[in-house]
Structure 1
Amino acid sequence: MSVKTRPDTLVGRLALAARPTRPWLRIRASNWWTRVLLAGGAQLTSLDSANLTGANLASANLASANVAGADLTSAELTGADLTSAELADAELADAELADANLTRARLIGANLADADLTDANLTRADLMGANLTRANLTDANLIVANLIRANLTGANLTRARLIRVVLSHAVLTDANLTGATLTDATLADARLIRVVLSHAVLTDANLVGANLTGADLTGADLTGASLADADLTGANLADADLTDAELVGALWSERTRWPQAFAGLMRYRSEPIGGGRYRVQGSGNSGAELSVPPVPVS
């Protein structure tokens, strides 16, 4: 374990007394001493597989630290600096990470179930395959983050910034993204069953093949978005903006609510496929002319 000490703390003064001309110490420490050093302001570069369950690491400097596989269940990391930290497969369930800086952090396969990430900065963070079930990401910054195959079931992403985020094959069942910004986001083949995207910004988003069964898209901005082959069965798109949206191959049902201006057009462009469901025909965006004869839907 490498430790960089701060001279204005007791631990820092002890470290400087032991080796005053060099700020870096190479030591081996128990989990208890690791917590003491962190509480004293030490900067640790290696904590891989450490047991830090319930540790108080608020405002700790863990930038570029190796915390892979560490157990940080219920740890207090409010305001901590985890910039570029290695957290692959780390246990962070129930952890407090509000206002934490996780810019470019690697959280591949990490467990963040029920974690509090309110206002956290996850810009360019790698969360591939991470478990964020019921995590609180209200007002979090996830710009250009990688969330491929991540599990965000029941997560709260209200007003989160997800510009150019990649959520392909991710699970967001019952997640709340009210007012979230997903401009240029990739959600291809994502599972968005009963997701709340009310008044969310999804301009130019890729939702090809996404499952939006029962989704709430009321007032959402889907300008230029691609919903080709998406499943909109029972979805509510009332007052949504579908200007130039791609809807060819999208599935919908009698329970699907379209914006008032599009309801008639969607019926005109769709064919019944049985069970009260329909598939949008033609080519081009939501307002394009049909390239095949229309099939009226009664």
Structure 2
Amino acid sequence: MRTRSDTFLGRLAVAASPSRPWLRIQASNWWTRVLLTGGARRQSLRGADLHGAQLRGADLRGAKLRDAYLRGADLNGAELIRADLRYADLRGADLNGAKLRYANLNGADLILAHLTGADLTGANLTGAYLRDANLRYVNLNGANLTGADLTSADLSHGDLRDAKLRYANLNGADLTRTHLTDANLRGAHLNGADLIRGELRDADLRGAKLRGAKLRGADLNGADLNGADLTGADLRFAKLRGAKLRGANLNGADLTDADLNGANLTEADLTEADLTDVDLTDVDLVGVEWSDQTRWSDGVAAVMRGRSVPIGGGRYRVQGSGNSGADLPVPPVPVS
């Protein structure tokens, strides 16, 4: 399609071309790149059709690309700092190494997009669609991903410190060795997610869904997991010192060799959980429910049974100390 002379792109084409009446300017991928890098990024390209455009390394800082159709575009290494990409279609786009600091990607479609090593520091990805996206080594420090769909996305080795992921969907996502220190994951869905050796110190995981999640060797020291669903989760060798697990569901969870020193498990569900070789020093276990199938370290089961009352069906509830019941923690339970 030819560029009309009365449009913005047409005027740019006329201004940029020599005075040769026989020369016809067309909005090819090459010319689109010329126009964008030559100044069009300062104008609105809302809703522009740029699918498959070759914009590798292009300078698009502050570009107005709301609702733009960029499906399959090559934006590898492009400068998109503070660009407006709200509701843009970037499905399958190549954004590897792109600089998207503080860009607005609210509601953008990034399904199957490639964002390896991209810098999205402080970016707004509220409600964005990132299913199956490749985000390895991505920088999302301080980014807002509230309500984003990251189902089965690869975020391994990423930096998500202080990121906002409230109610985000991370079911089946790969978060191996990902840094999530101080991240807000309240109410997030992480069922079946891979968080092996993840850094989640002081993260907010209140009410998060972590059924069957892989948290082996993860650092959850000081994390808030109150009310979280960790049914069947793999927490072997996890660090949970000082973690808050009040009312958490750990039914069938594997906590073998986990460090729970100083953790609060008040009213948690440990039915059928495996706590073999777990450090329970100074752990608050008041109101914890456990079952005949719960596995404890040698000698601990008898101590727990002596401090619990049966509630039926082979289940027990740990009682408090003194006269105040659940207000006082159970004295430390020895590991051996």
Normalising by the smaller structure, the TM-score range is 0.7 to 0.9
Structure 1: distance between partners of 2:117 and 2:215? 24
8 A Cα contact 1:269 1:296, kept in partner: no
What is the letter of the counterpart of residue 252 of structure 2? Q
Decide whether aligned partners of structure 1 residues 293 and 97 sit closer, same or farther in structure 2, where only a CA change above 3 A counts: closer
Equivalent in 18, 21, 28 of residue 40 of structure 1: 28
Structure-2 residue corresponding to 1:30: 8
Aligned length: 262
Structure-1 residue corresponding to 2:50: 57
Name which structure has the greater RCO, CA cutoff 8 Å, separation 6+: 1
Pairwise CA distance, 1:262: 5.4
Alignment of 1:156-171 (within 5 A): 156-171=149-164
8 A Cα contact 2:114 2:133, kept in partner: yes
What is the letter of the counterpart of residue 28 of structure 2? G
Structure 1: distance between partners of 2:154 and 2:222? 26
Pairwise CA distance, 1:209: 0.5
Is structure 2 residue 210 aligned with structure 1 residue 217?
yes
**TM-score if structure 1 supplies the norm length?**
0.80
What is the letter of the counterpart of residue 130 of structure 1? A
Is structure 2 residue 126 aligned with structure 1 residue 138?
no
Is structure 2 residue 83 aligned with structure 1 residue 74?
no
Pairwise CA distance, 1:294: 5.3
Pairwise CA distance, 1:162: 0.5
Unaligned runs of 5+ in 2: 15-24, 269-274, 287-317, 319-336
Structure-1 residue corresponding to 2:95: 102
Q: Secondary structure at the match of 1:48?
A: helix
Decide whether aligned partners of structure 1 residues 60 and 272 sit closer, same or farther in structure 2, where only a CA change above 3 A counts: closer
Structure 1: distance between partners of 2:109 and 2:45? 17
Structure 1: distance between partners of 2:154 and 2:209? 19
Equivalent in 261, 270, 279 of residue 289 of structure 1: 279
Equivalent pairs: percent with the same residue?
42
Decide whether aligned partners of structure 1 residues 250 and 296 sit closer, same or farther in structure 2, where only a CA change above 3 A counts: closer
8 A Cα contact 2:121 2:141, kept in partner: yes
8 A Cα contact 2:242 2:263, kept in partner: no
What is the letter of the counterpart of residue 260 of structure 1? G
Structure 2: distance between partners of 1:179 and 1:200? 4
**1:13-55 alpha-carbon deviations (Å, 9 max, x no partner):** xxxxxxxxxxxxxxxx934566997842223334432311000
Equivalent in 224, 235, 244 of residue 237 of structure 2: 244
What is the letter of the counterpart of residue 227 of structure 2? G
Unaligned runs of 5+ in 1: 1-8, 12-28, 279-284
Is structure 2 residue 162 aligned with structure 1 residue 188?
no
Runs (4 or more) in structure 1 with deviation over 6 Å come to 34-38, 263-266
Structure-2 residue corresponding to 1:281: none
Equivalent in 76, 80, 93 of residue 86 of structure 2: 93
8 A Cα contact 1:64 1:82, kept in partner: yes
Is structure 2 residue 252 aligned with structure 1 residue 260?
yes
Decide whether aligned partners of structure 1 residues 109 and 31 sit closer, same or farther in structure 2, where only a CA change above 3 A counts: farther
8 A Cα contact 2:246 2:264, kept in partner: no
Decide whether aligned partners of structure 1 residues 260 and 80 sit closer, same or farther in structure 2, where only a CA change above 3 A counts: same
**TM-score if structure 2 supplies the norm length?**
0.71
